[in-house]
Structure 1
Amino acid sequence: MRRLLLAGLALAASTFAASVLTAFTALPARAAYPDRPITLIVPWGAGGGTDAVARIVAALLEKDLGQPVAVVNRTGGQGVVGHQAIADATPDGYTIGIITVEIAMMHWQGLTQLSGASYVPLALMNEDPAGVQVRADAPYKTVDDLLADIKANPGKFKASGTGQGGIWHLALAGMLSSLKMDPKSVPWVPSNGAAPGLQDLVAGGVQLVTCSLPEARSLIDAGRVKSLAIMATDRSKLMPNIPTLKEATGSGWTIGAWRGFAAPKGIDKAVSDKLQAALKKVYDSKEYQEFLSGRGFGGRYADGPGFAAFMAEADASLGAVMKEVGLAK
């Protein structure tokens, strides 16, 4: 009887073990990321420079990741709506976004609590330095000539290129401040971007526009506008004859409009690493480099940690300028 009982227990144990093993082996293996489409949020409107960068990157990511990458424009609130949507997304790697220089400015203006630290940075992919543009028939051969006239006639010159407190306004204010000049000595005329500001320059409504070379390119090529310097560490590949501000004046002030990619806080490191690697492939690709050169956009790459450091530095420098000109709250 005892032998029969022991045999029965052994059989039951064996059966149980077999059933558990079968159950575990029947469970589906965890799918490798990504196994479904990815959404890429753009905080600015369709057709603009940020949208164009997002769409070429999305198309190239699709090839590498093997899943569709859908671009969704979430506009409003001077960029706050889209940037908030990226930060609030589920951190599973299926919603990422493109963040722009405004993330280092909006919280200083009291528009949001968001900053670069609100995200997991993936890659910096583009930067377009500010240039100093005047009319082609202006008497200035160098930016020093222009600055000397501004010093001699404070308040005479007006400048434009973006809204009050926008990136190109801060470019001008930072440049003047770095040269020990009063940033308020050149009144700012707000505009809905560089294009209307440049048209106002050509028409004589303002005497100076600080914006990127790609934005001014068509008027420079047409011989109606000239650029005297760019606020960058190196000369532009697009127009290498234009000196940097440091070459021209000794000022080390640099600033530009930049774009990078980020994910919500809490994303799995393995997923973040895969996205960073994919974005590096995109940046190095022939297609992306041809896109940049064709549009006149500036290339600048940094990996996740490098992008985080870059944003922290931008936040500090832009905040200092905004406080100086009374734009910080």
Structure 2
Amino acid sequence: MKRRTLLTAATAIAALGLVGTGTAMAQSSYPERPIQMIVPWGAGGGTDAVGRIFASLLQEELGKPVNVVNRTGGSGVVGHSAIATAPADGYTIGTMTIEIDMMHWQGLTELTYKDYDILALVNADPAGVMVSSDSPYNTLQELLEAIKTEPKGTFKASGTGQGGIWHLALAGWLISEGLPPDQVTWVPSQGAAPGLTDMVAGGVDIVPSSLAEGRSLIEAGRVRPLASMSTERQALFPDVPTLKEVTGVDWTMAAWRTIVAPAGLPDDVKTKLAAAVEKAFNSDEYQNFMKERGFGIRWAGPADATAAIGEDDANLGKVMKEAGLAAN
């Protein structure tokens, strides 16, 4: 009887060992089926382009299809919600954009960056300060002095909708210079392109969108870049100084894109996905793709990306409150 009990115990232990081995094998075999890449913005845009190049590269690395799905609507809320509320099993990932740091302050959603496992920050396009080539202001210092001395509302700016990222970039800069956020009147537009067109035509004085978006007009000699809202000069625009170089302020802002998954990924899945994203980022295909399109290339792994996004969240919340653009 005693021998039988010992054998039963040994069999049970062996069975547990097999279960454990099976579990480990199941975990290490991720992915076993196609992965969905959710893009919260429309097909053909910049975020869609970044999402699709990553989907292609991750498909090669992981050995399973990575299918892009555009989930648009609600100023980004629909797509970001679809990512956050998906099962945290590694089979839904997405491209999260800087709007996640703005939507909850606007009262559009309760989602924040904390609802995601951030795998990497893979792109950042710093805001700039651009004027038309026939503007009387040749330097940022000249423009700033005029903004300070002329009555409020004398200068007009455009490049996105009311409360959009470039509007907040400008408002944040003005606040950092000790000016009210509405010292320059914001003229809403459908994006940087119409804002730049309006500026060249004389309708507005300033466009604070990314210099990359103004690149063609800059190279054509129709737009003059005065500064970049980045920590260091941009490789594509080495002659354009940063705000800090010119005026000493520390304000920086960039529109960024990240690769994320719903919060709560299993550790082994998160590790594998993060490694695959890093390999895709470092590939010649991705680097060349981004450079050819003038997109800013920036890398931050999971911890650093989460910290940077959290800092932007706090900064944007402060600016939106001071500008009367926050709902809470």
Shift of 1:78: 0.2
Q: Secondary structure at the match of 2:121?
A: strand
Distance 1:210 1:266 in 2: 37
Establish whether residue 157 from structure 1 lines up as the match of residue 167 from structure 2: no
The one-character-per-residue Cα deviations of 1:105-163 (angstroms, maximum 9, x if unpaired) are: 11000000011111111111010000101101111110111111111212111100001
Q: Secondary structure at the match of 1:195?
A: helix
The correspondence of residues 1-329 of structure 1 with structure 2, limited to 5 A, is 30=26, 32-153=29-150, 154-329=152-327
Distance 2:293 2:235 in 1: 12
Q: Secondary structure at the match of 1:214?
A: coil
1:3 corresponds to: none
Distance 2:169 2:206 in 1: 12
| Structure 1, unaligned runs of 5 or more | 1-5
Shift of 1:30: 2.5
Q: Answer yes or no: is the 8 Å Cα contact 2:61–2:276 preserved in 1.
A: yes
The one-character-per-residue Cα deviations of 1:145-189 (angstroms, maximum 9, x if unpaired) are: 111111121211110000100100001001111011121111100
Distance 2:83 2:124 in 1: 21
Shift of 1:266: 2.0
Shift of 1:324: 0.6
> Match for 1:173: what amino acid?
A
The one-character-per-residue Cα deviations of 1:7-47 (angstroms, maximum 9, x if unpaired) are: xx98xx89xx6xx97xx79x896270011111000000111
Q: Point out 4+ residue stretches in structure 1 off by more than 3 angstroms.
A: none
Distance 1:266 1:142 in 2: 48
| Alignment RMSD | 2.0
Q: Answer yes or no: is the 8 Å Cα contact 2:114–2:263 preserved in 1.
A: no
Distance 1:247 1:110 in 2: 36
Q: Indicate the structure (1 or 2) with the bigger Cα radius of gyration.
A: 1
Give the total of aligned pairs: 315
Distance 2:134 2:191 in 1: 23
Distance 1:65 1:30 in 2: 15
Distance 1:80 1:46 in 2: 16
Q: Answer yes or no: is the 8 Å Cα contact 2:105–2:326 preserved in 1.
A: yes
TM-score, length-normalised on structure 2?
0.92
| Structure 2, unaligned runs of 5 or more | none
Question: Percent identity of the aligned residues?
Answer: 58
Shift of 1:229: 0.2
> Match for 2:26: what amino acid?
R
Q: Answer yes or no: is the 8 Å Cα contact 2:130–2:226 preserved in 1.
A: yes
Distance 1:130 1:266 in 2: 33
Distance 2:78 2:162 in 1: 19
> Match for 2:156: what amino acid?
K
Distance 2:145 2:250 in 1: 18
Q: Answer yes or no: is the 8 Å Cα contact 2:41–2:47 preserved in 1.
A: yes
Q: Secondary structure at the match of 2:213?
A: helix
> Match for 1:30: what amino acid?
A
Distance 2:205 2:120 in 1: 37
Distance 1:178 1:290 in 2: 35
Distance 1:306 1:70 in 2: 27
The one-character-per-residue Cα deviations of 1:254-312 (angstroms, maximum 9, x if unpaired) are: 00100001111221111011111111111111111111211111111111111111111
Distance 1:61 1:136 in 2: 43
The one-character-per-residue Cα deviations of 1:195-222 (angstroms, maximum 9, x if unpaired) are: 1111111111111111001111111111
> Match for 2:118: what amino acid?
P
Q: Answer yes or no: is the 8 Å Cα contact 2:122–2:281 preserved in 1.
A: yes
